[in-house]
Amino acid sequence: MKCERTKYCSRFILVTVILFAFFVSGCAKKNVPLKATITVAEVENAQKQWADMLIEVGKIHSEKGDYKAAAQNLINQLYAYNYEKGVVLFKPTKAKIHPYRKTVEGALSYFVGENPEFSEDTGFALAPWVDIKFKNDEMYMHGDMAIAMGEYFFTDAKGNMAKVEYTFGYIKDANGALKIVLHHSSLPYQG
């Protein structure tokens, strides 16, 4: 009897493995997309929130307020450093010595400077910027992730405008808020 059960269990496992393999290979061949849980409007709202909060950091700095706390709040609210795996792929525009910011401290230094470990940082958020506009070239939605790519335009208090290229990746947290898991910025190629 025991041999009989083992034979059926082995067959059941074998059939299950084969069916799973067919299912996976069938989905891969058909390229079945995951239903997107993030909308274009949510990404655009997250971009506006990022721009508004970055402008606020510079404004608070100009008014001699606690700009570091404002920058820390921007990072805590909008980036996924403290969410799930805590991985954020952050490649800021004006970073050469330390081009990748894997930690909250590295991101904070980029925005406000004053960190001897990141001596190249002068505080990007402190310009101050008075306007930031995103111009999305394209967005890709897949399951619980969205990626947006395009150009954003930074206008400073003197009216000077800088065009920067970006790619941002977002995930949705348990409360439905988007968190940045990818932030790559670069100046346009000049050949």
Instruction: Quote the tokens at residue 89.
Output: 């792929």
**Tens-digit pLDDT string for the chain (191 aa):** 444 544 444 454 544 444 444 444 444 445 555 677 999 999 999 999 999 999 999 999 999 999 999 999 999 999 999 887 779 999 999 999 999 999 999 999 999 999 999 999 999 999 999 999 999 999 999 989 999 999 999 999 999 999 999 999 999 988 899 999 999 999 999 88
Residue 103: phi and psi, rounded to 5, are: -125, 165
Domain ranges in the chain? 1-32, 40-186
**CATH for 40-186, among 3.50.50.60, 3.30.830.10, 3.40.50.300, 3.10.450.50?**
3.10.450.50
- DSSP labels, 65-85: S-HHHHHHHHHHHHB-TTSTT
The contacts of residue 143 (CB under 8 Å, 6+ apart) are 34, 35, 36, 37
Instruction: Quote the tokens at residue 90.
Output: 């952050």
